[in-house]
Structure 1
Amino acid sequence: MNRPSYYKYPALFSPDGDGWTVRFPDLDNCFTSADSVEEAIVEAQAVLEDCMYFREKQKDDIPQPTPIENIFPEEEGFVQAVVAVMPPVRRAWSRKAVKKTLTIPAWMEEELRKREDINISSILQEALKERLDIKEPVSF
């Protein structure tokens, strides 16, 4: 599947009394809020990146963005295009740690308690890469 390197969607910025809310009319459940316009712009990009990443991951439909000139803000609000640059987002999510339950013999746990220089997660990751004959992905 050939995924785009970026997505660009119009966002509606609206004052909410204490700050600003941001929503993407084309994307259900893609919204955020912040105390200032500047923070809202940063948060809008972050939430768009995450929304698009999970839409890709779950193979959800990715709608075409509505032309920005067809989006009308509420009074005192504004519309702005927000861009989600996806390669670094995909790379970051692929490197997120996932918690796994591990069972080891009690005698091994006793030995591990004696050693502060041992990182079990690191050892397990290296052993799995070797056993599966795989390498860490460089990028997506």
Structure 2
Amino acid sequence: MRKLTYLAVLEPASEGYGVFFPDLPGCISFGKDIEEAHQMGREALELHIYSMEKDEDLIPAPSKSLSKEDVECGIITAITVLPDLVKNEMENRRVKTNVTIPAWLKEAAESQHVNYSKLLEVALLDYLNVRREILR
């Protein structure tokens, strides 16, 4: 499984710590203390890399060290993420979607205690001829 480790800067602020990754412009976060800042930084890094890969952007190689100006403004910490695990989690998360069906059909389905989500998922897999294990 792929593992990426980027250096993050935790910058003290009046109400906590800002987090940024010099290698990944735009990947920022905030936490009320160092522990929360590290956790929120990891979540930001996971989602940032996931989005970049989804957009087919080039993922920059992690730096081994930071510039003097980055080091002067805060605490340097290494944050590690597992992009393949994040991708699997994101692609298999459950999302809501609205559908419209006739009222009589809804009543009939409810009288039979139909699980709409499961039925729609199975029907879509069949319709699209996709063979993927249904995660419950």
- TM-score, normalised to structure 1's length? 0.81
Provide the identity percentage. 30
- Report the 3-state secondary structure (helix = DSSP H, G, I; strand = E; otherwise coil) of the residue aligned with 1:83: strand
Q: Which runs of 5+ in 2 are unaligned?
A: none
Partner in structure 2 of residue 63 of structure 1: 60
Q: Note if 1:122 corresponds to 2:118.
A: yes
Work out the CA distance in 2 between the residues paired with 1:84 and 1:42. Answer: 11
Aligned residue pairs: how many? 133
Q: State the distance in 2 between where 1:110 and 1:127 align.
A: 19
Give the RMSD, CA atoms, in angstroms: 2.2
Corresponding residue SS for 2:87: helix
Q: Is the 8 A contact 1:14 1:73 kept in 2?
A: no
- Hey, what does 1:30 align to over in structure 2? 27
1:132 aligns with 2:124: no
Q: State the shift of 1:137 in Å.
A: 5.8
- What SS does the corresponding residue of 1:127 show, helix, strand or coil? helix
Q: Distance in 1 between matches of 2:46 and 2:61?
A: 16
Q: Where does structure 1 lack aligned partners over 5 or more consecutive residues?
A: none
Q: Give the superposition deviation at 1:69.
A: 4.5
Residues 1-140 of structure 1: matches in 2 within 5 Å?
5-70=2-67, 72-75=70-73, 77-115=74-112, 117-136=113-132
Structure 1 CA distance for aligned equivalents of residues 49 and 36 of structure 2: 20
- Distance (whole Å) between structure 1 residues aligned to residue 88 and residue 52 of structure 2: 16
Q: In 1, Cα distance between the equivalents of 2:55 and 2:100?
A: 31
CA deviation string 1:66-113 (max 9, x = no partner): 3225353235x2111211111210110111233333221232123245
Q: State how far apart, in whole Å, the 1-side matches of 2:133 and 2:55 are.
A: 20
TM-score by length of 2: 0.83
Q: Distance in 1 between matches of 2:129 and 2:110?
A: 30
